Structure 1
Amino acid sequence: MCGIAGLIGFRGDLKENIGKMNHRMLHRGPDDEGIYISDDKKVALGHRRLSIVDLSKKGAQPMMSHSGRKVIAYNGEIYNASVVKDKLIAEGKVTEFNGTSDTEILIESIDAYGMEETLTMCKGMFGIAVYDMDKNTVTFARDRVGEKPLYYGNVGGAFAFASDIGCLRVIDGFDNEINTEVLDIYFTEGYIPAPYTIYKGIYKLEAGCIMTVNVDDLSSETKSYFSMTETAVKGQRNLFKGSKEEAAEELERLLKESIKGQMVADVPLGAFLSAGIDSSTIVALMQSVAPGKVRTFTVGMEDKKFNEAEQAGEIARHLGTIHTEEYITEKDAKEVIPQLSFMFGEPFADSSQIPTYLVSKMTRKHVTVSLSGDGGDELFAGYRSYESVERVWGKVGKLPYFIRKPASILMLNSPYSKSEAGMAKAMYMGAKGPGDVHRLEHEGDPIVKKIALKNGAKPLSYKYTEMDTNLLADPCHNAMLMDMLVYHPDDILVKVDRTAMAVSLETRVPMLDRDILEFAWSLPRNYLREGNVGKQVLRNVLYKYVPKEMVNRPKKGFSIPIDKWLLDDKIRQWAEALLDKDKIRQQGILDPDVVEKIWTDFTQRGIYRIQIWYILMFQQWYEKEYMIK
């Protein structure tokens, strides 16, 4: 796990600027740094290293291929590197390796087979940049699901890229303005989905994509080497033929294989453990394949409504792990807030970012790598919202769209929609498919689209609005696919990566293994959900290791009481300073009257909208990142 950065066609001081970019992401790689500058000064690559495999200088980056034709800067881990290495040796592509790092195996494979063939073979998480001296190109790639970040774009006439968007801001000549067109999406979702960022001219390379940039004219070409949509469609067309018991056995086998690969490290390793199904399954299987006791980590909350530490401790004792738990106070959590804008580099407002940072900080005191249970809800239908999508679509979908759409418009413009329930029913009536129902569940309040001033900006489309909402036959699978395309990579994985890397902790997600993705999409609907209870096949794996009564408890979630905190004197003063009406009017980005209404609805009428936190995170980013040059 590391951080990469680079410049192509930059006219200023290359070494100084790459040095500044490296320094900005010191937290991503505190162990070492490296810089490569091509002889013609057209390409510069930077790297910060968090040493995980091959701690020696033989694993240092940027790294040149044995042929001397290519140079790589790479962030991530290739879990099946040994398989790729064996293939290279068996086919005579490489006679011997200088070290034991996956970086060397990766660059030699790319040199021998090309980027696309290599990535098709590899299992892992990564953001990659490879300079090809013969072709005079730099090729970039991102892992299948989007675990590792890669930002790129035009800065002062040069092509710039980095693992951290903040690295682009420190480049001499950076003057990219705020991309106001993306704000409606941000204030709806609480994050900015790929390929967009908060800046004009700066983008996120999308998951599963390869982009090649010509060094001479900076032209680029992007293609996909993996499609989550195609994987889902193929899986649903070729459903798993075995029984539920056989499905659980196969999932257990695949998870164990993934976990074994992801437990390879030359540094201390452990796992996050909540009282939930996902992390408990990962820990149970880790303990079953590990030669010794696994280390597990939990943070507890003072507020019992959000505390799962006691249940997690019970599970840890049952499994026999070496368990560490630490209780965090409101003071601990509130002290994280000022750090968030630097951590994420652009507005990001999933409030569970705070406890995720705190559990990462605590875990890093003991280990350098931690496995996580993320992915279980999206791949195995864990969210309760999936049940509501099925229920709502089961009612409105019986009527033809040409009847429902006009009815929806009439209802939205009638007194019927004055109530929250009436508004929701009116909007659901106009849904094109089950995917639309899922989207409308969190886009229902019309005030959301009024927060940002339009100033002629056109609304942007993104995957939630672009995808075929009837693509898959089952409503639940449609909702799951939407989450795996947007919510999971652009919220969940961003949150985990940025908060963990802020304390130099590598996180790994076994459920996102390629073989598990393909298997999960092949499962029939009734293998996933029964009534209101999801993750059936995953539960059946876990029940072999942990008693049902120990994990079948109401999920409390990994969250904090933001609405309660905002009424505390100190936090309220911080919030009201950011939401000052004159300040917002002077900024000219948000509508001061709408922001005032959202805040007074909360403080005077008790109506809490999640957009309050979204606005606060935007305002804090604006003051602490954007306005500081």
Structure 2
Amino acid sequence: MCGIAGILLASNALDQRPLRTIGQMTMALRHRGPDGEGFWVDREAGIAFGHRRLAIVDLSETGRQPMHSASGRYVITFNGEIYNFRDLRRELEEVGHSFRGTGDTEIMLCAIERWGVEAAVKRFAGMFAFGLWDLQTRTLHLVRDRMGKKPLYVGLTRDALVFASELKAITCFPGFEAKLDEGAAMAMLSKGWVPDGNCIWRAAYKMPPGSLISVTAADLAVKRSAASLARRTRRWWSLAEVASIGQREPAAGNDEELTTELDRVLRLAVRERMVADVPLGAFLSGGVDSSTVVALMQAQSTKPVRTFTIAFDEGGFDEAPHAAAVARFLGTDHTELHLSAAAARDVIPDLPQIWDEPFGDESQIPTLLVSRLARQHVTVALSGDGGDECFAGYSRHFLASHLTRLQRLPSPLRQATAMGVGVLAHLSDHDLIESLPLSASLRHAMRSDRLYRLAHLLKAGNEDDLLQRLTSPSTETLARHQPPIPSFSSPLPNDLLSRLLFDDMTGYLPGDILVKLDRASMANGLEGRCPILDHRVVEFAWRLPADAKVRNGKGKWILRHLLGRYLPQQLIDRTKQGFDVPVGAWLRGPLRTWASDLIATARLSGAGILDFAKVDACWRAHLDGKQDRARDLWPVLMFEAWHCEATRSIASDAAKAHEYALLGD
């Protein structure tokens, strides 16, 4: 995994000096590739590529990028891994091709030369984002993997297209206008993350998952906006098509046969992701997803797998005992780090620079810290990300069937039930439930925010209304305007669970989960791999019947059943906790001054995004202890912290870009 950057000048560009900025752009990504850098520039064609290397497979010089194809027709700068490259290599060798090195990039280039760009990427199993220059046709191809695991941003200026793994490289380019996209900002304040179809800067956009675009210098002479360029992007892989095929051609077999097939497909995905020429391990929380990945790793390893867990020294936020129990049973080489709240809070000032779009999912903190821990011992870590989205692990997934049945009840009865749940939420707000002798899991389930959410869902008038409520943010938007209500283009209009899963896979997964993992791991020079999101696993998951996912009021039934082949039931059956951190308590205590200062700064900044009457009321209610409003406040605080950092760094980038522009050829 690496960091990539590139520049293509428009055919009518009068000045080639901006190509020199490729050095500054690439340097901005040095954290993604601490093992070296490389550049390729063709001034006559107006193209430049940069690459920061995190060496994983083939550590020799033959793995350096940017890399030329054997014929010299193509040049590539590539971020990611092609896990089936050995199978592709054997296939290509059988028809006469030979290779200098042992890595995947050389195989990619050969596959593209033999089969063409789109046909080749359809045969790649992996995570990838790359820029490919065709010297013969003078065309730039930009490609992103199926699920959106690897980021790829594209920016447009008056005279050039620029692309990179992160926005901080694009804002280095002279002439790039870093103007806030208010729609993206409103969406972030509502959801906590910028949707994958938006970008925080107007002049940039994200390549969608499973997409590619082909551009020439002549195209750039007439395409003057990021939006017009984005419309040329086409899909080479479609989740909508996968979902439709899965519904038309469901998997055949009984429970055991389906579980065995999942075991086979997921074992293959795990095995392919265990290929590395550097130390490798896994994140282990003790939950179903990470435990399944680690169990399949250990089943295919001749030595103990390295596993990593962090824990906060605060009650109710510690999954370490569960992880340790799983590690002991499987026989892994387990590392556990207990952190004080102060140590966790110490990383907060770094967050806006690491996530260079505003990002308000507080689980970014433990994800960053566990990545930092793992990097002290390994260079690659497998994770269980994707299990909830593929196999229905969120409460909304298994609530859906219950709530659908409740839709059949008379409206007055549903409204009365909603009112009763609202009363419980009010009691929870005032700590009255805390005084009851409840288990930790039940107390977690009866948090006021969860109860208010349930009351809101019970008021749904019909299934479409229920879908809208299930997929809308559960927090109050503190922006001046509400973001537009999204339209649902799910190909499965008659199946509520499938519509929810489709929405998660196309929204929350690429916009939040994968962004969180990529930035947290790459900030530490660590490669994160997600076997559950292998496209073959995803495609199999869409062929499963609903009751293989949700059964007996629980989600991820088939994944739990599979894990039961490797772990005893008592290590599987526990309440899902998630990567929670006690942000609410911190905001009332040690983070209070920091938060107050940010809110005051936001009031003076003039960005015009926030509704300060709402912000002030929310902040007072939280400080008074009447309600835990951390989930409403955290996106606001992260947005403002990001805005301060962006303003500072853009001013610095502009000064450096001016210096580059003054340099001669």
Aligned-pair CA distance for 1:581: 7.2
Does residue 471 of structure 2 align to residue 439 of structure 1?
Answer: yes
User: Which one of 387, 397, 401 corresponds to residue 386 of structure 1?
Assistant: 397
Distance in 2, Cα, partners of 1:71 & 1:585: 44
Distance in 1, Cα, partners of 2:462 & 2:321: 45
Does residue 601 of structure 2 align to residue 577 of structure 1?
Answer: no
8 Å contact kept, 2:88–2:107: yes
Name 1:491's counterpart in structure 2.
Answer: 512
Distance in 2, Cα, partners of 1:241 & 1:582: 56
Letter matched to residue 553 of structure 1: R
Name 1:333's counterpart in structure 2.
Answer: 344
Identity over aligned pairs, percent: 38
Name 1:83's counterpart in structure 2.
Answer: 87
Does residue 589 of structure 2 align to residue 562 of structure 1?
Answer: no
Aligned-pair CA distance for 1:187: 1.6
Aligned-pair CA distance for 1:604: 2.6
User: Which one of 489, 499, 507 corresponds to residue 528 of structure 2?
Assistant: 507
8 Å contact kept, 2:186–2:609: no
Name 2:37's counterpart in structure 1.
Answer: 33
Q: SS of the residue aligned with 1:297?
A: strand
User: Which one of 631, 640, 654 corresponds to residue 619 of structure 1?
Assistant: 640
8 Å contact kept, 1:14–1:44: no
8 Å contact kept, 1:139–1:212: yes
Aligned-pair CA distance for 1:453: 3.5
Q: SS of the residue aligned with 1:346?
A: coil
Name 2:284's counterpart in structure 1.
Answer: 273
8 Å contact kept, 1:389–1:437: no
8 Å contact kept, 2:18–2:173: no
Q: How has the CA–CA distance of structure 1 residues 431 and 607 changed in structure 2, closer, same or farther, with 3 Å as cutoff? A: farther
Aligned-pair CA distance for 1:468: 3.7
Aligned-pair CA distance for 1:13: 2.9
Distance in 1, Cα, partners of 2:99 & 2:479: 55
Aligned-pair CA distance for 1:431: 5.7
Moved more, 135-144 or 470-479: 470-479
Q: SS of the residue aligned with 1:176?
A: coil
Q: SS of the residue aligned with 1:325?
A: strand
Does residue 234 of structure 2 align to residue 213 of structure 1?
Answer: no
Number of corresponding residues: 605
Aligned-pair CA distance for 1:618: 0.3
Letter matched to residue 478 of structure 1: R
Distance in 2, Cα, partners of 1:148 & 1:354: 20
Aligned-pair CA distance for 1:369: 0.3
Distance in 2, Cα, partners of 1:13 & 1:397: 68
Aligned-pair CA distance for 1:364: 0.3
Distance in 2, Cα, partners of 1:519 & 1:469: 18
Unpaired runs of 5+ residues, structure 1, are: none
**How is 1:3-82 mapped onto 2 (pairs within 5 angstroms)?**
3-9=3-9, 11=15, 13-14=17-18, 16-82=20-86
Letter matched to residue 263 of structure 2: E
Q: How has the CA–CA distance of structure 1 residues 397 and 152 changed in structure 2, closer, same or farther, with 3 Å as cutoff? A: farther
8 Å contact kept, 2:16–2:46: no
Distance in 1, Cα, partners of 2:168 & 2:376: 26
Name 2:165's counterpart in structure 1.
Answer: 163
Does residue 317 of structure 2 align to residue 290 of structure 1?
Answer: no
Q: SS of the residue aligned with 1:121?
A: coil
Does residue 248 of structure 2 align to residue 227 of structure 1?
Answer: no
Distance in 2, Cα, partners of 1:435 & 1:38: 51
Aligned-pair CA distance for 1:434: 5.2
- TM-superposition CA deviations, 1:309-349 (whole Å, max 9, x none): 11211111111111111111111110110011111101001
Name 1:186's counterpart in structure 2.
Answer: 188
Letter matched to residue 527 of structure 2: E
Distance in 2, Cα, partners of 1:467 & 1:588: 29
Distance in 2, Cα, partners of 1:275 & 1:33: 38
Aligned-pair CA distance for 1:423: 7.8
Name 1:123's counterpart in structure 2.
Answer: 125
Q: How has the CA–CA distance of structure 1 residues 533 and 65 changed in structure 2, closer, same or farther, with 3 Å as cutoff? A: same
Q: How has the CA–CA distance of structure 1 residues 60 and 581 changed in structure 2, closer, same or farther, with 3 Å as cutoff? A: closer
Q: How has the CA–CA distance of structure 1 residues 173 and 390 changed in structure 2, closer, same or farther, with 3 Å as cutoff? A: same
8 Å contact kept, 2:8–2:161: yes
Q: How has the CA–CA distance of structure 1 residues 425 and 276 changed in structure 2, closer, same or farther, with 3 Å as cutoff? A: closer
User: Which one of 549, 559, 564 corresponds to residue 528 of structure 1?
Assistant: 549
TM-score (norm 2): 0.86
TM-score (norm 1): 0.91
Distance in 2, Cα, partners of 1:232 & 1:584: 48
Name 2:568's counterpart in structure 1.
Answer: 547
Poorly superposed stretches of 4+, deviation over 6 Å? none
Aligned-pair CA distance for 1:193: 1.0
Q: How has the CA–CA distance of structure 1 residues 518 and 397 changed in structure 2, closer, same or farther, with 3 Å as cutoff? A: farther
Aligned-pair CA distance for 1:425: 5.5
Does residue 527 of structure 2 align to residue 537 of structure 1?
Answer: no
Q: How has the CA–CA distance of structure 1 residues 588 and 50 changed in structure 2, closer, same or farther, with 3 Å as cutoff? A: same
- TM-superposition CA deviations, 1:64-96 (whole Å, max 9, x none): 11111110000000000012112222233x2x1
Name 2:432's counterpart in structure 1.
Answer: none
Q: SS of the residue aligned with 2:81?
A: strand
Moved more, 317-326 or 581-590: 581-590
8 Å contact kept, 2:153–2:164: yes
Q: How has the CA–CA distance of structure 1 residues 168 and 439 changed in structure 2, closer, same or farther, with 3 Å as cutoff? A: same
8 Å contact kept, 1:387–1:531: no
User: Which one of 407, 428, 433 corresponds to residue 396 of structure 1?
Assistant: 407
Name 2:663's counterpart in structure 1.
Answer: none
Distance in 1, Cα, partners of 2:453 & 2:328: 45
Distance in 1, Cα, partners of 2:312 & 2:457: 37
Aligned-pair CA distance for 1:469: 5.7
Aligned-pair CA distance for 1:377: 0.9
Moved more, 231-240 or 317-326: 231-240
Name 2:310's counterpart in structure 1.
Answer: 299
Does residue 118 of structure 2 align to residue 111 of structure 1?
Answer: no
Letter matched to residue 547 of structure 2: N
Aligned-pair CA distance for 1:467: 2.1
User: Which one of 202, 205, 221 corresponds to residue 204 of structure 2?
Assistant: 202
Name 1:360's counterpart in structure 2.
Answer: 371
Letter matched to residue 30 of structure 2: L
Aligned-pair CA distance for 1:433: 5.8
Name 1:254's counterpart in structure 2.
Answer: 265
Distance in 2, Cα, partners of 1:261 & 1:200: 39
Distance in 2, Cα, partners of 1:102 & 1:595: 50
Aligned-pair CA distance for 1:157: 3.3
Aligned-pair CA distance for 1:627: 4.1
Name 2:433's counterpart in structure 1.
Answer: none
Does residue 382 of structure 2 align to residue 371 of structure 1?
Answer: yes
8 Å contact kept, 1:286–1:294: yes
Aligned-pair CA distance for 1:136: 1.2
Distance in 2, Cα, partners of 1:205 & 1:397: 42
CA RMSD of aligned residues (A): 2.6
Aligned-pair CA distance for 1:99: 0.8
Moved more, 32-41 or 338-347: 32-41
Name 1:344's counterpart in structure 2.
Answer: 355
8 Å contact kept, 2:492–2:498: no
Name 1:589's counterpart in structure 2.
Answer: 609
Q: How has the CA–CA distance of structure 1 residues 431 and 579 changed in structure 2, closer, same or farther, with 3 Å as cutoff? A: farther
